[in-house]
Amino acid sequence: MSNPDLEEPQPRQALGADFIIPALGCGLTAYYLISTVDLVWEAKATGICIGLVLLALCVAHLVRLGLKIRSGEADWSTGALFANDAFNRQRLGLTLMVLVYVVTIYWVGATVGLFLLLIGCMRLLGVTRLRTLLGVSFVSAAFVHLSLITLLDSKLPRGVLIDLLSKASGA
Amino acid sequence: MDVSTAQLAELFVRSLGLWWVILPGMLLGTIVGILPGFSAQNTLIILLPLTLYMEIESGMAFMISLYCTTQLGGGIPAILFNMPGEGGAVATTLDGYPMTKKGQAQQALVLCFAASAFGGLVTTVATMAALPLLAQLGLYFRSVEMVVVIVFGLTLIAAIAAQDLMKGLIAGFFGLMIGTIGVDPVFGTPRATFGLLELYDGVPLIPALIGLFAISEAFVMLESETIVRNEDLSKAKNARWADTLEGLWLTGRYWWQTVWTSLIGLVIGILPGAGSTVAAFLAYHYSKLLSKTPELYGTGHPPGVIAPESANNGVTSGTLVPVFALGIPGGTTGAIMTIVLTYHGIVLGPRLFIERPEFVYSVYMQMLVCYIFMALMILPLARYMSRVVWIPTRFLVPLILSLVTIAAFSEREYVFDMGLALGFGVIGYIARKTGYEVTAILIGVLMGPLFEQYFLRALRVGQGDPSILFSSTLGNVLWAMVVLALVLPWLRSRRRQGVLAQTVRAGHE
């Protein structure tokens, strides 16, 4: 039989991150309730009913989490979700790159932007061979341009460079 | 409405002769289905000038083959990458992706394709056999009954949340709350739109789907070398034709499941506004509910792939029923087909069955031929397509992230939607890492607006009296089924615990 005194204490659960989704839910509900104050009852009824149930669920869940933290089973830390490790740095980098792509798409254009985005993302994830980086990015960007912009006539922003090239070629 | 067997045989041969439009339609449908953001409806609208130019028979064959294969195509990325290509394939992710992770992508794809083809065949034959009867079905489902159908779909949130009920319900209601954003369906007043015009139509489905599933999955995916677990990768790479055939054998084993879940799809397809998403979720829910092993659902259980796939293909046969019988399209696809049919001078409605019954049957025969062609391509398609998951994630993640961000643009052509998809991606990633089911969030986003629309309509009919919801016999039968769906799993688990406890006690004694 094992001696309970010699057993290692169980690590505490990191429950800080568990609050994020309920917090978002409560925030959205609060905004909904405030922004629909002046509307007629019928227009806001469904949202209010759903919101009140969501608030009740969140409160019950927060109480449950709070009790766990109070009893010492868990703590407020966010665990691996926001840890400063290689994967999280990669995720942050990827998110920022996609965000920059979306923000600059009108100027850079969907095709050129996609080419650069793919190079950046693959490089971040550890692809180092230049030929592979350029090849995969070029083929993917060309495929998107041909299928969506040329064939399906999508309204994806062309960007300054493609516009200049189109004008130069008289297209 | 009399059509002899000889006439049906002749129609079948004539439909076979339309292979030259059916095959390109199928190819295009598969591509459209695979790409999130591209729907059969949008593609049919783009191709409307072409279909209007074609002969009515070939034009319908092309549209139908494209529409039917889109449902099949949507299941491919759902199984391989946990990112449904169509709303109707969301439920397929629940068991399809776990099968891929276990190195059974081939089997899962065969299950998906075979269930789609077999389910489509069953419902096409059923529709041809009972077309006049089915045409009446839509008339019995009014806003009250639709409220109950959607409530039934929503109860799936509780079923998905079996691991942690509280978190599952929070996720589901969070999704429902997101679904209330936008103008209300009665007065058209904006609610919780953050002052953004882009949110007046509500939260668009495609960016939400792309973010919650594709982007968040890409963020999780980068933690491993490949999608398939390392220990299962060699098993996946060494898979033989026998493994591919195993998927076919599994479909045969669960043939009854395919039949009845596809019939759910057929009924839902006839109802206006419900569509393949509701059908797939309902079929999955029922399948789990009536299964002897409900605990296996969500772990890569074959019936969990069969049920939604056969249901979403069953919808395709149902969609055309109100178009032909009443001249009223139940959704966008039906509306586009109505345009083409009326352009060619086809008078839709009850008289069509008296004056040109052979035309109605020829359309369903084309659908039948499409599903037969689909059945023939099951094995090679599954075998070679499943190899995509061997690609290292250092290539897959950038490709997925960039292509799905562009796909988010496709539905409404707003750059705003690309940013919205990224936002949903971050929310989805946090939800996954903290144990909140993204599927429950998406069910809320999908069904919330539908629920509100029918609920408010029912209340208007009842002049604000909520007892209208219990005023119809059919509605009350459906309510009883909802209650049963909620109570049955609880009763079964109690019974099982009781049996287990007795066994343990007996063992002690």
User: Could you give the dihedral angle defined by the CA atoms of residues A51, A55, A57 and A63, in that order, rounded to the nearest 10 degrees?
Assistant: 180
What is the number of CB-based contacts under 8 A between chain A and chain B? 167
Q: What is the pLDDT of residue A94?
A: 96
Burial B319-354, CB ≥16 within 10 A → b, else e:
bbbbbbbbbebbbbbbebbbbbbeeeebebeeebbe
Chain B neighbors of A128, CB-CB under 8 A? none
Q: What is the pLDDT of residue B427?
A: 96
Q: What are phi and psi of A125, to 5 degrees?
A: -90, 5
Q: What are phi and psi of B501, to 5 degrees?
A: -60, -40
Per the structure, the count of domains in chain B is 2
Token digits for B439? 């599927």
Measured between alpha carbons, how far is B228 from B246 in angstroms, rounded to an integer? 19
For residue B329, pLDDT over 80 is answered with no
Averaged over B250-268, what is the pLDDT?
A: 89
Chain B neighbors of A101, CB-CB under 8 A? 402, 405
Is B223 touching A (CB cutoff 8 A)? yes
Neighbour count for residue B226 (Cβ, 10 Å): 17
Q: CB–CB of B252/B110 below 8 Å? A: no
For residue A125, pLDDT over 70 is answered with yes
CB within 8 A of B176, min separation 6: which ones?
Answer: A50, A54, B154, B444, B445, B447, B448, B451
For residue B138, pLDDT over 70 is answered with no
Q: What percent of chain B has pLDDT above 90? A: 15
DSSP string over B204-223: -HHHHHIIIIIIHHHHHHTT
Neighbour count for residue B207 (Cβ, 10 Å): 30
CB within 8 A of A67, min separation 6: which ones?
Answer: none
Could you identify the residue written with the tokens 């209300």?
A: B184
Are B445 and B488 part of one and the same domain?
Answer: no
- Map residue B348 onto helix, strand or coil: coil
Are B308 and B447 part of one and the same domain?
Answer: yes
Contact map slice: A 10-49 vs B, CB within 8 A: 17-18, 20-22, 24-25, 28-29, 31-32, 35-36, 39-40, 42-47
Measured between alpha carbons, how far is B338 from B334 in angstroms, rounded to an integer? 6
Averaged over B202-226, what is the pLDDT?
A: 88
In a mutagenesis test of the A interface, which of B189, B406, B460 is the best target, namely the one with the most A β-carbons within 10 Å? B406
Chain A neighbors of B177, CB-CB under 8 A? 25, 28-29, 32, 47, 50-51, 54
ipTM of the complex: 0.90
Q: What is the pLDDT of residue B426?
A: 96
Are B318 and B384 part of one and the same domain?
Answer: yes
For residue A81, pLDDT over 70 is answered with yes
Q: What are phi and psi of B227, to 5 degrees?
A: -65, -45
Are B185 and B199 part of one and the same domain?
Answer: yes
Are B221 and B304 part of one and the same domain?
Answer: yes
Averaged over A58-84, what is the pLDDT?
A: 86
Token digits for B424? 């949903």
Averaged over B289-313, what is the pLDDT?
A: 89
Top pLDDT among B329 and B80 is at: B80
Top pLDDT among A42 and B264 is at: B264
Q: What is the DSSP letter of B296?
A: G
B308 pLDDT tier (thresholds 50, 70, 90): very high
Top pLDDT among B49 and A113 is at: A113
Is A57 touching B (CB cutoff 8 A)? yes
Q: What is the pLDDT of residue A153?
A: 78
Q: What is the pLDDT of residue A15?
A: 79
Q: What is the pLDDT of residue B371?
A: 85
Is A170 touching B (CB cutoff 8 A)? no
Give the tens place of pLDDT for each residue, A139-167.
999 988 888 888 777 888 988 887 788 77
Mean pLDDT of chain B: 83
Kindly tell me the burial class for residue B412, based on how many C-beta atoms sit within 10 Å of its own C-beta (0-12, 13-18, 19 or more): middle
Relative to beta strand B182-183, strand B190-191 is antiparallel
Query: How long is chain B?
Result: 509
For residue A2, pLDDT over 50 is answered with no
Q: Do A50 and B426 lie within an 8 Å CB cutoff?
A: no
* A24: nearest CB among B174, B223, B405: B174
Q: What is the pLDDT of residue A151?
A: 77
Are B22 and B161 part of one and the same domain?
Answer: yes
User: Could you give the dihedral angle defined by the CA atoms of residues B237, B242, B244 and B245, in that order, rounded to the nearest 10 degrees?
Assistant: -170
Measured between alpha carbons, how far is B249 from B252 in angstroms, rounded to an integer? 5
Q: What is the pLDDT of residue A124?
A: 95
Give the tens place of pLDDT for each residue, B332-341.
777 788 878 8
Measured between alpha carbons, how far is B140 from B134 in angstroms, rounded to an integer? 11
CA of B21: how far to CAs of A9, B24, B56, B89, in Å? Answer: 69, 6, 12, 25
Q: For B291-392, where are the alpha helices, taking DSSP H only? A: 302-326, 332-343, 350-355, 357-376, 378-385
Are B157 and B296 part of one and the same domain?
Answer: yes
For residue B116, pLDDT over 50 is answered with yes
Are B233 and B361 part of one and the same domain?
Answer: yes
Give the distance from residue A30's alpha carbon to the nearest chain B alpha carbon, in angstroms: 10
B273 pLDDT tier (thresholds 50, 70, 90): low
Q: What is the pLDDT of residue B165?
A: 79
Are B288 and B350 part of one and the same domain?
Answer: yes
* Domain boundaries, position B501: 473-509
Is A116 touching B (CB cutoff 8 A)? no
The residue extents of the domains of chain A are: 13-80, 86-169
Averaged over B384-393, what is the pLDDT?
A: 80
Are B136 and B169 part of one and the same domain?
Answer: yes
For residue A14, pLDDT over 80 is answered with no
Are B405 and B485 part of one and the same domain?
Answer: no
B501 pLDDT tier (thresholds 50, 70, 90): low
Averaged over B204-224, what is the pLDDT?
A: 88
DSSP string over B449-475: HHHHHHHHHHHHHTTT-GGGGG-SHHH
* B191: nearest CB among A25, A32, A154: A32
DSSP string over B221-252: HTTSSSSS-HHHHHHHHT--HHHHHHHHHHHH
B507 pLDDT tier (thresholds 50, 70, 90): low
Are B450 and B499 part of one and the same domain?
Answer: no
Averaged over B268-287, what is the pLDDT?
A: 81
- By C-alpha distance, the chain B residue nearest A145 is B406
CA of B145: how far to CAs of B148, B271, B468, B477, in Å? Answer: 5, 10, 10, 10
Q: Do B401 and A148 lie within an 8 Å CB cutoff?
A: no
For residue B197, pLDDT over 60 is answered with yes
- By C-alpha distance, the chain B residue nearest A80 is B433
Measured between alpha carbons, how far is A96 from B509 in angstroms, rounded to an integer? 64
* Angle formed at CA B206 by CA B200 and CA B212, multiple of 5 degrees: 105
Measured between alpha carbons, how far is B417 from B409 in angstroms, rounded to an integer? 6
Q: What are phi and psi of B314, to 5 degrees?
A: -65, -30
* Angle formed at CA B268 by CA B264 and CA B270, multiple of 5 degrees: 120
Is B173 touching A (CB cutoff 8 A)? yes
Q: What is the pLDDT of residue A129?
A: 92
For residue B451, pLDDT over 70 is answered with yes
Top pLDDT among A64 and B246 is at: A64
Measured between alpha carbons, how far is B452 from B289 in angstroms, rounded to an integer? 26
Q: CB–CB of B145/B475 below 8 Å? A: yes
Chain B neighbors of A17, CB-CB under 8 A? 430, 433-434
In the chain, the amino acid numbered A81 is L
Chain B neighbors of A74, CB-CB under 8 A? none
Top pLDDT among B131 and B262 is at: B262
Q: What is the pLDDT of residue B442?
A: 86
Q: What is the pLDDT of residue A1?
A: 42
Q: CB–CB of A112/A141 below 8 Å? A: yes
- By C-alpha distance, the chain B residue nearest A63 is B166
Listed residue (B307, B335, B268, B251) closest to B134, CA to CA: B268
